[in-house]
């Protein structure tokens, strides 16, 4: 995996960005830029070749195309595809290396003093998948929708772009954010206690965070509330039991922490599109 490695400050500078949609069958034409070109696919899939190497960039993935290399679409989109693109430059020297930085502490190269700033080295994969897509897509939206009526809007775009690069480095180093750490604790608690009555108050007391903050973290990272995650986890456990045992529906309902089997059946139908009995029949016929 190639990484683009560079020192900061100065940070890479955003030139221009945009949002585009390719209808089914459309593909990129041949281009060679003198700047770096970042492409992030929000939905669908793009097929690009750079320097005779073909890439498939799917939903939630990105590629950084390098200056001086021709790139083009070697295949039309199979479905309607939406993507963000950003042109930028790196004002300092950079190099392409095969091994990136895996330890977050290693980005700090030297301390500053009264005359010189501290020095950092970032090492970002040229091709990869974003883990926290909602966070990144929010940043891209902010970059493109900054109020253009204010004289500092381009400076604000630069700040958002720098925030994105730092996030990309953190993901490459597998550094979870504060919200991600909260979500990890919520998920662990729910998976350990889903057979019991799970109250938001008990969850908050267990991981020592306010219920509102927990909910915001869950919605930001996984896109759902703790209660919805709990129900989805319970339904997944119920599906496993329906497929591998001959237990009665009422017993399975209790096994996954729902004492009212009627409510369980209604919730299962709402979330899975089938009643528990219908689901079992479909699974056993396979």
Q: Is 79 helix (H, G, I), strand (E, B) or coil?
A: coil
pTM score, two decimals?
0.64
> In angstroms, how far is the first alpha carbon of the chain from the final one?
40
Alpha-carbon torsion (74, 78, 80, 81), positive or negative: negative
Question: Token pair for residue 39?
Answer: 């492409």
Alpha-carbon torsion (93, 99, 47, 133), positive or negative: negative
Crossing angle of helices 178-193 and 200-207, in 10° steps, is: 120
Helix (H) or strand (E) holding 264: helix 261-272
The pLDDT of residue 147 is: 82
Question: Token pair for residue 78?
Answer: 């199979």
Alpha-carbon torsion (239, 241, 247, 252), positive or negative: negative
The pLDDT of residue 179 is: 85
Maximal CA-CA distance, the chain: 75
pLDDT tens string for the chain (286 positions)? 799 999 999 999 999 999 999 999 999 989 999 999 999 999 999 999 999 999 999 999 999 999 999 999 999 999 999 999 999 999 999 999 998 988 888 899 998 888 889 999 999 999 999 988 988 999 999 999 988 888 898 999 999 999 999 999 999 988 777 888 899 899 999 999 999 999 999 999 999 999 999 999 998 888 889 999 999 999 999 999 999 999 999 999 999 999 999 999 999 999 989 999 999 998 887 6
Residue 66 CA to residue 59 CA, distance in Å, equals 21
Pairing outcome for strands 3-8 and 94-97: antiparallel
């Amino acid at each position: 995996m190639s990484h683009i490695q560079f020192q900061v400050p100065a940070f890479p500078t955003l030139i221009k960005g945009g949002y585009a949609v390719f209808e089914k069958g459309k593909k990129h034409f041949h281009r060679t830029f003198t700047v770096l070109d970042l492409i992030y696919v929000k939905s669908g899939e793009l097929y690009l070749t750079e320097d005779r190497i073909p890439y498939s960039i799917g939903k939630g993935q990105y590629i950084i195309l390098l200056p001086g290399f021709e790139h083009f679409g070697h295949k039309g989109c199979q479905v309607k595809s939406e993507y963000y693109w950003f042109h930028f430059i790196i004002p300092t020297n950079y190099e392409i290396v095969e091994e990136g930085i895996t330890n977050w502490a290693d980005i700090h190269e030297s301390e500053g003093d009264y005359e010189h700033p501290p020095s950092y080295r970032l090492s970002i994969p040229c091709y990869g998948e974003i883990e926290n897509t909602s966070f990144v897509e929010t940043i891209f939206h902010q970059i493109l929708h900054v109020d253009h009526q204010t004289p500092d809007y381009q400076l604000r775009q630069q700040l958002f772009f720098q925030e994105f690069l730092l996030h990309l480095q953190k993901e490459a180093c597998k550094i979870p954010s504060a919200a991600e750490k909260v979500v990890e604790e919520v998920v662990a608690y729910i998976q350990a206690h889903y057979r019991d009555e799970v109250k938001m108050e008990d969850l908050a007391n267990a991981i020592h965070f306010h219920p509102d903050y927990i909910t915001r973290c869950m919605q930001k990272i996984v896109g759902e509330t703790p209660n919805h995650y709990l129900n989805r986890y319970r339904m997944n456990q119920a599906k496993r039991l329906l497929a591998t045992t001959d237990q009665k529906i009422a017993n399975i309902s209790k096994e996954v922490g729902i004492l009212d089997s009627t409510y369980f059946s209604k919730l299962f139908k709402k979330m899975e599109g089938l009643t528990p009995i219908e689901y079992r029949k479909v699974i056993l016929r396979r």
